[in-house]
Amino acid sequence: MHLRKKYLIIFLSIGFTLALFPIYSSADSNNTDTAERNNVQENHTYLLKNPEQTTKVLEIIKKHYPSLTATAIEEIGLVSVENPKHIDVSKVQHKITSYVESQGELPTLIPPYEGTVSSNKILNAAHKSTLNDSQNSNKVHAKNKYPPLSSGNFISFNWYLKDVTSNYRSLSIDKGEHSTIALIDSGIDIKHPLIKENIDLTLAKNYSTGHMDVTDELGHGTSIAGILSSIAPQTKIIPYKVVGSTEGKSLWVINAIIDAANDGNDVINLSVGTYLIKSEKEDKLLIKAYKKAVKYAKRKGSVVIASAGNDGFDLDELKEFKFKHLPGGLHDAVTVSSNTKDNNLAYYSNFGKEVDFSAPGGSLLDHDGSERANEMIITTFPIHQMNTPLDQSLGIPQGYTLTEGTSYAVPQVSAAAALMISEHTERTGKNPSVSKVLKYLEKGSSDIGKPGRDNYFGAGKVNAYRSLIMMNK
Separation in Å, CA 419 to CA 179, 240, 423, 444: 7, 21, 6, 12
The candidate with the shortest Cα–Cα distance to 346, out of 107, 81, 16, is 16
Q: Could you read off the pLDDT of 370-425 as tens digits, one per residue?
A: 677 888 999 999 999 999 888 998 899 999 999 999 999 999 999 999 999 999 99
Q: Could you read off the pLDDT of 255-293 as tens digits, one per residue?
A: 999 999 999 999 999 998 888 887 777 788 889 999 999
Q: Could you read off the pLDDT of 116-154 as tens digits, one per residue?
A: 223 344 444 443 434 444 444 455 555 568 999 999 999
pTM over 0.85: yes
Q: Could you read off the pLDDT of 292-338 as tens digits, one per residue?
A: 999 999 999 999 999 999 989 999 998 888 888 889 999 999 999 99
Confidence of residue 107 (pLDDT cuts 50, 70, 90): low
Residue 151, amino acid: S
Lowest-pLDDT range of 23-27, 143-147, 235-239, 417-421: 23-27
Question: Does residue 70 register a pLDDT over 70?
Answer: yes
Confidence of residue 369 (pLDDT cuts 50, 70, 90): low
* Whole-number Å distance between alpha carbons of 469 and 412: 17
* Whole-number Å distance between alpha carbons of 28 and 79: 24
Confidence of residue 33 (pLDDT cuts 50, 70, 90): very low
